[in-house]
Amino acid sequence: AQSVSQHNHHVILSEAASLELGCNYSYGGTVNLFWYVQYPGQHLQLLLKYFSGDPLVKGIKGFEAEFIKSKFSFNLRKPSVQWSDTAEYFCALGAGNMLTFGGGTRLMVKP
């Protein structure tokens, strides 16, 4: 069975700080990986996705993530966060037409 772990449950940053959110997965087959974002009171929206090819994927709003197969990781990064990035971020693993989500990381960006 697959699983996804997000070790940072809460992160607080000041505007312009750099962001890195950790995501590790456990799965023995070919992986499809996603980061979703949920702004306060809203539904989940796709930030970026990795299916194959270049392990560094770029998404919307300046986010990027790097797939490191040897570390079973898919960490999310942003060089300079803004107050509007305050949200909850979910890493997800796609396998067998289903997504398995991590527990989420709540990011608060102080103005």
Q: Which residues bind other proteins (CB under 8 A)?
A: 6, 9, 32, 34, 36, 42-46, 49, 51, 90, 94, 97-99, 101-104
The residue among 21 and 94 lying less far from other proteins, judged by its C-beta, is 94
The residue among 53 and 111 lying less far from other proteins, judged by its C-beta, is 53
Rounded to whole angstroms, the Cα distance separating 104 from 6 reads: 6
Rounded to whole angstroms, the Cα distance separating 49 from 32 reads: 7
Residue 76 CB, shortest distance to other proteins, in Å, is: 15
Residue 42 CB, shortest distance to other proteins, in Å, is: 7
The residue among 79 and 103 lying less far from other proteins, judged by its C-beta, is 103
Residue 38 CB, shortest distance to other proteins, in Å, is: 9
Nearest to 85 by CA among 24, 28, 31, 38: 38
Residues 6+ apart with CB under 8 A from 6: 21, 22, 23, 89, 90, 91, 102, 103, 104, 105
